[in-house]
Amino acid sequence: MATKQNSKPIAGPTIDSATIERLLIARQGDPFGVLGQHQVGDVDVVRALLPSALAVEVISSDGEARSLGTLTKIHADGLFEGSVGALQAASADSPAYRLRITWPSANGATSVQETDDPYAFGPLLGELDLHLIAEGRHHALGDALGGRIATVQGVTGARFAVWAPNAQRVSVVGEFNGWDGRRHAMRRRIEAGVWELFVPGIEAGTRYQYEIVGAHGGLLPLKADPVALTTDLPPATASRVSDGMAFTWTDASWMEGRAARHAPDAPIAVYEVHAGSWVRDMEHEGRSFNWSELGGRLIPYAKSMGFTHLEFMPVMEHPFGGSWGYQPLGLFAPTARFGTPADFARFVDRCHEAGIGVILDWVPAHFPSDAHGLAQFDGSALYEHADPREGFHQDWNTLIYNFGRNEVRGFLIASALEWLERYHIDGLRVDAVASMLYRDYSRKAGEWVPNIHGGRENLEAVAFIKELNTVVDERCPGTMMIAEESTAWPGVTLPVSAGGLGFHYKWNMGWMHDTLRYIEEDPINRQWHHDDMTFGMVYAYSEKFVLPISHDEVVHGKGSLINKMPGDDWQKHANLRAYLSFMWTHPGKKLLFMGCEIGDYKEWNHDGSPDWNLLDQPLHKGLQQLLRDLNHLYVSSTALHEKDSDPTGFAWIVGDDRTNSVFAFRRSGRDANDVVVVVANMTPVVRTDYAIGVPSAGAWVERFNSDAAAYGGSGIGNQGMVHASDAAKHGMPASLRLTLPPLGVLILEPEVSGHGKTLLV
């Protein structure tokens, strides 16, 4: 390499006292303009700010560690400067020089450290990266920003980059510099508002945060990295340097075939889980299980129960466990509560190996105002709106993302892709979509700002959602985007190209509220609430729906699902068996929260877990068996899922028998012979010789009976088979006369359908 032969000494400091003062109080906005190597006249000068250091020598970076000059301490607080000779030119394989630093040690001794100078390295992010960040189109922010292990000019260390356009100075602080913001001030890339720095020698797992002098000159609380891939275990707030999570996936066949598993004609039965409380280790003070332990228990359980997917309440890092993850700050990092990012990836891989998909709840609507988080990140309203009428969620005491800002939209879209691409997640259930769509959500008159047309619609949020779903479809085909949207906003699951929001499925909150209101009534009163069970079919095909019985229905004083049911303990179980049977045969994909399948009496508490000991009791064991059989029947019977989104797949047979609280309907698949008939008796009265129309005469198999003795029922039914006459009824060419069990649901199919034997009668 070419070298510059230059060793002229310098007489004194070559920078003015004001610059020195700014360095020493960490207010120098351009540290690279002062520190590192600089040409002063015809002399090469190196400056280093190393508080507490005793001596600093510049040495060659060619492996021989030759002395190139000694730096003089020009300020007592640790600013060193000196001329150097024979300085080689920096190259792609090596920086121009290294530093040999003498530090004080215990008992008056000293220690010597040889290291590369962070200020000897050039810019890190390329112009394309910066351009895409500024436009909000950098879809791999998890690789471009954050604290990542990197090799720069042949040197291994950590590359830090953070978006803070209005900051006056940003430093990375951590264990490696005593959390001293003077030591590692970052370079500002003004074209994108990004600050960056390469710190040699740092290893994966090193703790760090950002020390920021804000837009108005004040020092902010230390900030966690918004794009950290790994974090400290809460309540600690530091981020950790990531090695990018090198992980060897074994799920290629799953990934290739999952699009068919997520299609509107596929069976989708989701088990919603809070990872920290599904089961606890009571031998160790009730601690939560980690991902490895959950994999050994939850995956085989979900598979044995016949669920096709697991859906986790948010696993993105969040400071307060009591938020259940719905107030996240680490949108790129799996929470450290259950293990490392690689542990989480391994769990997903094991799910796919078992034939189970993984859905995550994801929260782009709002974020908490914790001082170490996104709030006022650079001393200005950066991620949030400045106006509280737009930027503050009154219901949740949180801040609302500014969807109109390119970089914020890009941040959120990159977060979604992080989970879908890096972790092979099969779908995201987007939380609180209604709160995003309406500017007046949960606000009184005068508490919100109209859109540019004077309306209540949040046009920026709508544009963000459409862009999000478009990008996901392009980059992650076969995944699902699911909206928790509680209003009648049109076209939620219509493609963006057709004017819709572009989600694949929507939670049917209306169906859930109506049917729960019905089933909570004493059976004697249900005749007056009959429409609550039938109204859902009026709009069942307006969207592609998931029928959700989620955690929201068993918290905040709402009680457990089984305790919503009227009557004594037997009737509670019978009502719940009937309700779940009605739900599993109704058009729409299914979702059930953990513990509901065993009739847990307790309202869900994130600090506890379902009472699995209840399975020692026959009624609870029977309820679990019923749900298991429903899942397997739902998956195996194409009539129960192929036309979930096709109105030709459903027809009422009996929809108006209010007096008897009886419902009967037909479900069918694409094959004309693929038919089942469902009959529900929602009273505790046995109804004999009840006539209903059916599509064909002949033998009909009683494939399922929710009142079966094995489920804890009374065992009343039709001995497994009944014959239909050719007497027309209910607009059908044939009819059956049935015995309807109390608080029971029957599923019948013609014997010729060939779907197999009766499950339980």
The answer to whether residues 544 and 500 touch, using CB atoms and an 8 Å cutoff, is no
Residue 210 and residue 149: Cα distance in Å, rounded?
17
User: Which phi and psi (to 5°) does residue 555 adopt?
Assistant: -140, 175
Could you tell me if residue 306 is left (phi over 0), alpha (psi between -120 and 50 degrees) or otherwise beta? left
Residue 676 tokens, joined:
């089942």
185 strand-pairing partners? 171
Question: Which residues, 6 or more positions from 106, have their beta carbon under 8 angstroms from its beta carbon?
Answer: none
Residue 656 and residue 344: Cα distance in Å, rounded?
50
Exposure string over 78-94, b if 16+ CB within 10 A, otherwise e: bbbbbbbbbbbebeeeb
Residue 613 and residue 616: Cα distance in Å, rounded?
6
Residue 518 and residue 593: Cα distance in Å, rounded?
20
Catalytic one among 431, 532, 600, 674? 431
Q: Classify residue 256 by its DSSP letter.
A: H
Residue 730 and residue 269: Cα distance in Å, rounded?
31
User: Which phi and psi (to 5°) does residue 141 adopt?
Assistant: -60, -30
Alpha helices in 269-340 (DSSP H): 291-304
E-strand stretches of 313-406 = 316-317, 330-334, 357-362, 366-367, 392-393, 398-400
DSSP letter for each residue of 32-70: GGTSEEEEETTEEEEEEE-TT-SEEEEE-SSSS--EEEE
Helix (H, G, I), strand (E, B) or coil at 271: strand
Could you tell me if residue 345 is left (phi over 0), alpha (psi between -120 and 50 degrees) or otherwise beta? alpha
Cα(first)–Cα(last) distance of the chain, in Å? Answer: 86
Residue 705 and residue 577: Cα distance in Å, rounded?
10
Residue 598 tokens, joined:
């065993």
- Catalytic residue check, 484: yes
Catalytic one among 460, 484, 543, 642? 484
Question: Which residues, 6 or more positions from 754, have their beta carbon under 8 angstroms from its beta carbon?
Answer: none
| HEC secondary structure over 392-425 | EECCCCEEEECCCCHHHHHHHHHHHHHHHHHCCC
- Give Cα 265 to chain centroid, integer Å: 25
Residue 182 and residue 21: Cα distance in Å, rounded?
11
- The owner of tokens 């994801």 is 362
Residue 580 and residue 564: Cα distance in Å, rounded?
13
Alpha helices in 450-608 (DSSP H): 459-475, 509-519, 531-534, 569-585
Q: Order the strands of the 721-724 sheet from edge to edge.
A: 650-657, 662-668, 675-681, 744-750, 698-705, 721-724
Q: Give the active site residues.
A: 431, 484
